[in-house]
Amino acid sequence: MEGSIYDHTDQEAKKFISIFYQIFNFRQAPVHGCSLPIFDFKQCLFDLNNFLLFLYKLRIQHLILRNVGRMDNTLSPDLYYFQSLKELGIWDCPVLFPSQFKVLTNLRNLKLIRVRISNRQLEILVSGCPNLENLNLSDCPTLLDFQICAPNLLLLDIEMSEWTRFSLIDAPRLKHVTLSDLVDLSDDLDNSSREKEDKDDHLVKLLMNLSHIERFSIACYKEIFKYTSIEQLPDSLSTGHQLANLKELSIRLALSDVKMVSFLLFLLRSCPNLQQLALEDGSIGPGSPFETDYWEKQRHPKCLINHLTKIQIKNIGLGDRNVLDLMKFFWLNARVLIKMSITINCFRFDWALVKEITANEFFPLKRASPHALIEIKPRGRYECYSFEIYYSSVGVVLFSLTKAREQGLTSIKMMYDAVDVINAIKGADDWFTSSYVLDILECA
């Protein structure tokens, strides 16, 4: 069951409380789930401890507590004696612990959203849930530097609006990890401490403890290397600590900044069996410049040889030379690539620019994979359109544009003989219709 008091008067809130009490007073069977706001009205008193007692007796299994009033409401410590709980969600509440914390043996899912909890309290809570499988932390401002030790954890999702440091993740069964705003917090360190921090890179330590994960998503920024020089990162994680089980990597970073791209290559060289890569450009302003021979110096990741089949790059500008060089690096070296999907960040989609850049940058190159396909899509209100580039045995390329109709998406995928294409080049304008556009381009 679920309760909410948004946009209600004190009198209406009292009625809600009365209904809750009546339901739980007369119910004898177990309650499987309850989503409960913590009422906060000047004239409306709500005894949360008494209400939790009802839930305790009814062996509640799924509980979500939300504070829709002031932030000074304090969550009752009695909650941590609910041995029947399998799922617990807490929103906008400070967390207090009883003097003797009892283990929540059956808890599988824990979600904390905008919760005031200390680093030590979180460590106690997680370690007190031996069967915890899913942990979600979102916008908890008091968490700055913490460790997670959970023997049965399968999924970890940490999303912070403030920069947060994750010192250690000890979870041998962990399969899926999402981290955002990963940064090295060293503002209060003196010079000697900074030098020590440089030699003891917490990022490498963190990744070495994730060698068993299968899916990894991370959002990071240039500040991650504020006091740790990018040159001090190794070429890859050492043998025995590489992310050998990782199949999917999703990362948001500044693709026009050499430090961030070097970090990306470090990750790729540490994921020898990676199959899918998703990149999102988070560039804001100019980044650190690339050397002229930067790409010639790079050791190719092993995943490009036998495993990486799908690459997705989002939110880019086709006019960014650094991003184009990264795309060409994949195009020239990914030997089993099937599809590289590009989403362009643009206010007005320039079809002529797409043709020009694609023809000049990609057509002259010898792709590593004979079956590779490039898909170019604009974002925003143009997302219903998809440009796909096909190669024939004689090097002819066909751009196809799909357009969403009222009943769904109509996709045009066609291939022509060289003679047919050459004959159609001059009459390309004849291909324009109300439902789709075909434009044919000859590859030199």
| Burial readout 343-358 (b: 16 or more C-beta within 10 A, e: otherwise) | bbebeebeeeebbeeb
Rounded distance between C-alpha atoms, residue 325 and residue 321, angstroms: 6
Residue 296, judged by CB atoms within 10 A of its CB (0-12, 13-18, 19+), counts as exposed
What pLDDT score does 121 carry?
84
Taking the domains of the chain in order of start, what are their residue ranges?
Answer: 23-143, 396-442
Confidence of residue 66 (pLDDT cuts 50, 70, 90): confident
Q: What are the structure tokens assigned to 347, written together?
A: 């206010």
CA distance 221 to 252: 8
pLDDT of residue 174: 93
3-state secondary structure of 386: strand
pLDDT score at 214: 96
- Alpha-carbon distance of 171 to 152, in angstroms, equals 7
Q: State pTM to two decimals.
A: 0.76
Question: How far does the chain reach from its first CA to its final CA, in angstroms?
Answer: 66
Picking from 253, 245, 260, 250, the residue whose alpha carbon sits closest to that of residue 216 is 250
pLDDT at 45: 52
What per-residue confidence (pLDDT) applies to 27? 66
Q: Which element (helix H / strand E) includes 174? A: none
2 pLDDT higher than 50: no
Please name the helix (run of DSSP H) or strand (run of DSSP E) that holds residue 248, with its range, or none: strand 248-253
Residue 4 has pLDDT above 70, yes or no: no
Q: Are 245 and 214 a contacting pair, CB within 8 Å? A: yes
144-153, 237-246, 328-337, 350-359: the lowest-pLDDT one? 350-359
Per-residue pLDDT of 391-419, as tens digits, reads 433 333 444 444 333 333 333 333 333 33
State the pLDDT at residue 364.
78
Higher per-residue pLDDT: 188 or 359: 359
Please tell me the predicted confidence (pLDDT) of residue 187.
40
Per-residue pLDDT reduced to its tens digit, 279-338: 999 887 677 788 889 999 999 999 999 999 999 999 887 778 888 999 999 999 999 999
pLDDT value of position 397:
40
Residues in the chain: 444
What pLDDT, on the 0 to 100 scale, is given for residue 217?
93
**Residue 161: band (very low, low, confident or very high) from pLDDT cuts 50, 70, 90:** low
Task: Confirm if 241 and 271 have CB atoms less than 8 A apart.
Answer: no
What pLDDT sits at residue 109?
A: 96
Is residue 119 classed exposed, middle or buried when 0-12, 13-18 and 19+ CB atoms within 10 A define those classes? middle
